[in-house]
A = this chain, B = another copy of it.
């Protein structure tokens, strides 16, 4: 790092940790910091830059989670291999739009650790009600006519601005297609791609997407994960021409795909005609440490990434509004084959979301929910750490669930069943596997906390403690 000096500018509006992050990232991308180079320790760097150690830690965390650097126990941080010349054209701002709500399933359990639990008690219902009423009075006829088949133009413009600002997604509003939920949009996407494809998916994965592909008649090729990432060699050897990933926050593992693996994916895509990457960015707004991870789409220069976003988590599950960002070639396929479909989201819903965003409710609500979930997250993490029957905790930087490895003689199935009998619903990790892993040792449980109070979490954990 000798020839590579970081200059901090404390007067700049940009936070210090972000300046450190950017300097190191650019150093790695531009080759000033070669692969394998050891970075200064956080203590050394903090002294050198005259800033607090936690500022440097935050920057390193971000670099770590994005895969620019790796950490080796007792040795420190090292620059990763980032060979391709992809650059982030415009670095992400640390925006405030960062929280989401999630599906709440009506539950017959005392305590339900569903990863889809949500807290909607603080949603600004009167504001949304007023917006809808006013739309009916002011623009009623437009609300009841057929809308633009791609989606309302002003909503698409807002989505476009939002994605650029917060996700580094670069697109024009013309590339955006609004539809009634992720599954619907995946179905339509497959109609653009045509029949008979093979999709590679991580195992474990998001089963809704898996089932949708199966219903369409696509083959699904499960790809194992190493160190919580999709194994690139297995993808390379597979027959897949489409890959479905969640780079910002893998479900259910809660990991972030490192930059190196992202670039490998993009390389894989350009190796053959008509290979595509589906990037499901379902809850990226919601991250507790560091800033949100930029989307894979922003790195793609070859038009091979299809970005899938949703308001199900950033507003509420029942809005049923998702959107695709299509590369140019697929946009033409959409116009040719699917242009006749009417938009599946009612105009009144689209316009309400547009006004909800424009009038600032969206951002305010996200910030409020972020702090609500952050508090729940911290509480649960503290409680889990107290449990002697938990040998490992992971996936703790973002999302609405944590994972924990349980130290017990019971099998995962037995554990889940016995908890259920006691009125506590827990979710075994193996439920999300497409192919059963050979030797998955101890049980791993998902602990969703979005819909639970602190008392409920405590009650649930106490119950599990009595079983393991």
Q: What's the Cα separation between A320 and B321 when bound, in Å? A: 13
- Which stretch, A20-28, A73-81, A133-141, A267-275, touches the partner chain B? A133-141
One of A31-39, A223-231, A342-350 at the interface: A342-350
Q: Are B317's CB and A144's CB within 8 A?
A: yes
A 336-360 binary contact with B (CB < 8 Å = 1; else 0):
0110111111111100000000000
Chain A: number of interface residues, binned into ranges: 35 or more
Which of these, B132, B144, B187, contacts A136 with CB under 8 Å?
A: B132
Query: Helix, strand, loop or mixed for chain A's interface?
Result: helix
Chain B residues within 8 Å of A135, by CB: 129
What residues of B have a CB within 8 angstroms of the CB of A136 in the complex? 125-126, 128-129, 132
A437 within 8 A of B: no
| Closest B residue, CB atoms, query A101 | B144
Tell me whether A157 is interfacial, beta carbon within 8 Å.
Answer: no
How long is the Cα–Cα vector from A90 to B348 in the complex, in angstroms? 38
**How many identical subunits does the complex contain?**
2
- From A177-185, A382-390, A409-417, give the one contacting chain B: A177-185
Which residues of B lie under 8 Å from residue A207 when comparing CB positions?
340
A208 near B: Cβ within 8 Å? Answer: yes
Question: B145, A342: Cβ atoms under 8 Å?
Answer: no
Whether B191 pairs with A317 at a CB distance below 8 angstroms is no
B140 touches A133 (CB 8 A): no
A384→B261 CA distance, assembly (Å): 68
> Given A133-B132, A145-B120, are A320 and B342 neighbors across the interface (CB < 8 Å)?
yes
Query: A341 CA to B209 CA in the complex, in Å?
Result: 10
Are A144 and B132 in touch, CB under 8 angstroms? Answer: no
Contact assessment for A146 and B317 in the assembled complex, using a CB-CB cutoff below 8 Å: yes
Beyond the given A181-B342, A215-B337, A318-B346, could you list 14 further A-B residue pairs with CB under 8 A, ordered by the A residue number? A101-B144, A116-B146, A123-B141, A125-B141, A129-B132, A129-B134, A132-B136, A133-B133, A180-B180, A183-B342, A191-B215, A208-B340, A319-B346, A320-B342
Can you list 6 contacts pairing A with B, beta carbon distance less than 8 Å?
A: A103-B145, A104-B146, A123-B140, A145-B317, A145-B318, A346-B346
